Structure 1
Amino acid sequence: MAPSAPVERYVAVLQVPDAGADAFTNEHPFTRQPGGRAVFGGLLLAQSISAASATVPTNSHVYSSHATFIHPVTATSKARLVYRVDRASDGRSFATRVVRATQGGDGDGDRQGPCVFMATISFQSAGAGANKSAAANVLDYANPPPTSDGLGPDDISEDLNRQILTAFSGSGAQLRPPPSFSEGGAFDWRPFDFEQATNPWDCRVRAFVRSQEPLADSTRSVPSLNLAALAYLSDESLIGIAMYANPKQIGQGMKNITMAATMNHKISFHDPLVRADEWMVLERSTSWGGNGRVLVRQQTWDLKSGRLIMTVEAECLLRLKADADSKL
């Protein structure tokens, strides 16, 4: 049976026996990002987690991912992407995997392509304090989600996010709130709050979000798939908050931007039982800009329970035209 939700297809990987032990590749062809030739970074984050998860016991859940984007990945069938998983550590409660993705060559020996992406991915077994918040020997707290002033996802148009994207990126458009746009339709975004401020670090962007389609019954409660899906979500237009927070320097229709890309990306997963096809609340902010780089942050909560399920921090390259009035 074919996957029922686009995100299931995006995060899927296959073993590649001819590339060595613990080697995987994308199960489905990559697509390019809108307006560019590079593959969307969220795909690499998600698939590296899927690959690493295939090398640990089923009761072990990823709780942390530290990734670095080294070179752009091109959407071509002639140079496959291979994820090689190094079993760095296996303990009673925790395990660590180092994933290196290469593209080009023939995937074998000295002829494999250059490393284009790498990630250190950490796991915790279900019996090692995970989901045992009632136990006396663990701390249990998290900051609450932002208020939506009574609004729910059904109160917001399904097409609003696409309208914002068009207005924001158009060459003659006034600068608008940044999009959180899924090029392949993986997630349904319902933006509800754009908090502008004089100081960039005080700006906030908030939205409801969930998988565009329900996950298949057989995979809906699979932790590795849901967490890989959240990794995909974590990089969607994440750099947009830095653009929104600096409208004068970015310019109308982003006219002053010459380059924008994620460089380093850290995810902390707080709940292995999260379901990507149930509504979540997301908030993004930026805390720093300098030397052609910006630091952006994202927190995600489960809408129904209000529990914090993911925290993301990313360092992104954001370069402007030489004559732009820039403070980045």
Structure 2
Amino acid sequence: MRVLVTGNAGFIGFHVAAHLLRRGDSVVGADVVNDYYSPEIKEARLAVLEQSAAQSTGEYRFHRVNLADPAAMEAVFSDGPFDRVIHLAAQAGVRYSLENPRAYVESNIIAFTNILEACRHSKVKHLTYASTSSVYGANTTMPFSEHQGVDHPLQFYAATKRANELMAHSYSHLFGLPTSGLRFFTVYGPWGRPDMALFLFTKNILAGLPIRLFNNGQHIRDFTYVDDIVEGIVRVSDDIARPDPDWNSDSPKPATSNAPFRILNIGNNSPVHLTEYVEAIEAALGKKAIKELLPLQPGDVPNTFADVSALMAAVNYCPSTKVRLGVARFVEWYRQYFKL
């Protein structure tokens, strides 16, 4: 197939593009390569994709564009037609949304509108896009299920992602565009983002600096290894969303519709205490952490736990990577990447 992967210089998008190239698909990537975190690691990911393309039977092309620009989006889609679109480009980060909300409007609202319009007019067979577990917000019933309401986000980032889900439904309903939204739960692994906990903890432990544990280290997270996430994304993309024959407007299900639309959790289905996560890092590094305990930060969700039964039923998703193994793989990559 010919697949557009937006955000392919980013953590998850890079891994998805590499996976598709390995199986022989043609991939067109699109990314603005901004400086939200160091562009150096993004450029390194792009270089790896060029190498992967040389060994693939599929074609690889890359567009360095701002997807919030309609003309740029038109240029990307002129490189089609696309059998699938996997939209992973976004302004990520919970805390940064407190400082610069306009960046989230541009990247998560305007760019997503452009994606929907382009998919509609190009008659794309299936759009799969990234949502987030952060949409569960003030919910406290565990595990988080797609059948729960998600109308109380705790930060603007989550609000923009919830808006994406609603926008997608409108296009599925009005234009018959099949859409699948995936709510990611704390993805980690090699080539991860430098602003996320695993990267920051590893860097500071090696440097002998304290690591900051918010909520006094009492967080529980459904840490999900990137290879398991990628397998789920690709399986969902291959499986075109369809109307739910059992959907009833008198008692509507939040995650499906009488339109070709669905929302699915994608996580490890096995939450881990933050202290256990730190222990896994210490074990992989062979060095103890200096811990600084801090209160809960504004906008943070204390605990996450994904109910992935719907994803299992839909595409036989089965995450298999244990945290200690996944963390060890990240540390191995980290040492190689920084030549430690």
Q: TM-score, normalised by structure 1?
A: 0.27
Indicate the structure with greater helix content: 2
Q: TM-score, normalised by structure 2?
A: 0.26
